[in-house]
Amino acid sequence: MSNFRTNLSFLPAFLSISLVIFVLGFLAIFMFEANRLKKAIKEDVRMSIYFRDEANDSLLSVIRSDLGKKKFVLDTKYISKEEGLKTISNSVGEKPDSLLGFNPIPKTIEVRFKDYFVSDDSLALLQKQMEGIKNVREVGYDKQVVKNIDRNITRVGWVLIGLAFIMGLISIALINNTVRLTMYSKRFIIKSMQFVGATRGFIMRPFLVSGMVIGLGGGILACVFLSIAIKVCTIYFPVSHLVDNYLQISMVMAGIVILSLIICLVSSYLAINRYLRLKLDDLF
């Protein structure tokens, strides 16, 4: 019966710690997802290289091959005059060649880049280089979109970092307070063991183990809550790719369990050490 009551006494600590760690873990998952979205948005930016009619297929093949060899290029796509005309006709509902008597759409190479390269300065430099190639009519990309991506992603990044820092401090404070309250109920037991001559190590050992159990249990319970939350997100937000990021989710779950374990262990040590230093009268 006493063991059962002891286990029940740890239940509020388990729940409190698990909820705090769950929020921290969910924030970490959200940051991973935000980073994935940032990468997807940047890699969707395209630079279009338009050629004059004099540009032959061999020149286009060489330029496309050279671009494909660059480390910052994700992929390239050649769009012939006929393909470009078909796309425009489908978009506007009319055939420009019927109105003008010729196909005005130029041969085009579309280039997509790896996320780290997509910035206004890098793309502007590449644009200038490509415009210097013979038979290149024009090189273009949506500069305003790129500028908005840079500006907004920087802002969101700083907000997430600040939020993670604040949540980290709050989590540490709440977990530390929960463990201290748990140890507070055991203060007379700690003092009694000290009076009968038990060594500090002997006194601390069971309470440190209890702290580790609370931290481990709270971390595992937080992982259960996190798994449920991820499942709910994938049901109500199908565009989310959370379930595809098994490695990242596993890293976050392992991290929050270890973090919970360390915080509870350190908090238990500090709390026990405090009560060992106090005089009996100070325990009341």
Q: Identify the burial level of 123 via C-beta atoms within 10 angstroms of its C-beta, where 0-12 means exposed, 13-18 middle and 19 or more buried.
A: buried
What stretch of H or E contains 132?
A: none
Tell me, yes or no, whether 30 and 160 share the same domain: yes
From the list 184, 227, 176, 171, the residue with the least C-alpha distance to 19 is 171
Do the Cβ atoms of 167 and 27 come closer than 8 Å?
A: yes
Does any domain span residue 146?
no
**Residues 32, 161: one domain?**
yes
- Same domain? 31 vs 163: yes
> Tens of pLDDT along 62-105?
889 999 899 999 999 998 888 877 777 676 666 665 656 666 78
Residues 61 and 188 both lie in one domain: no
Range of the domain at 71: 46-141
Task: Note the pLDDT tens digit of each residue in 178-226.
Answer: 777 776 667 777 767 767 777 777 777 887 888 888 888 888 888 888 8
User: Is-above-0.95 flag for pTM?
Assistant: no
Q: Is residue 95 part of a domain?
A: yes
From 84, 113, 141, give the residue that closes a domain. Answer: 141
Provide the 8-state DSSP code for 75.
Answer: E
172 assigned to some structural domain: yes
Q: What is the pLDDT of residues 133-149, one digit of tens each?
A: 888 889 998 888 888 88
Which of 116, 141, 166 finishes a domain?
141
Give the domain CATH number at 104. 3.30.70.3040
The neighbouring-strand residues paired with 50 are 108, 138
Residues 6 and 72 in one domain: no
pLDDT band of 3, cuts 50, 70, 90: very low
DSSP 235: H
> 57 and 137 share a domain?
yes
Closest CA to 25 of 190, 226, 202: 226
Tokens encoding 144: 């305003």
Q: Are residues 271 and 165 in the same domain?
A: yes
**Distances in whole angstroms, Cα of residue 18 to Cα of each of 6, 12, 113, 154:** 19, 10, 41, 31
Residue that finishes a domain, picked among 110, 141, 172 = 141
Q: How far is CA 93 from the centre of its chain?
A: 42
147 in a structural domain = no
Confidence of residue 55 (pLDDT cuts 50, 70, 90): confident
DSSP 242: G
Q: In terms of domains, do 128 and 177 share one? A: no
Supply the mean pLDDT for the chain. 79
The total number of structural domains that make up the chain? 2
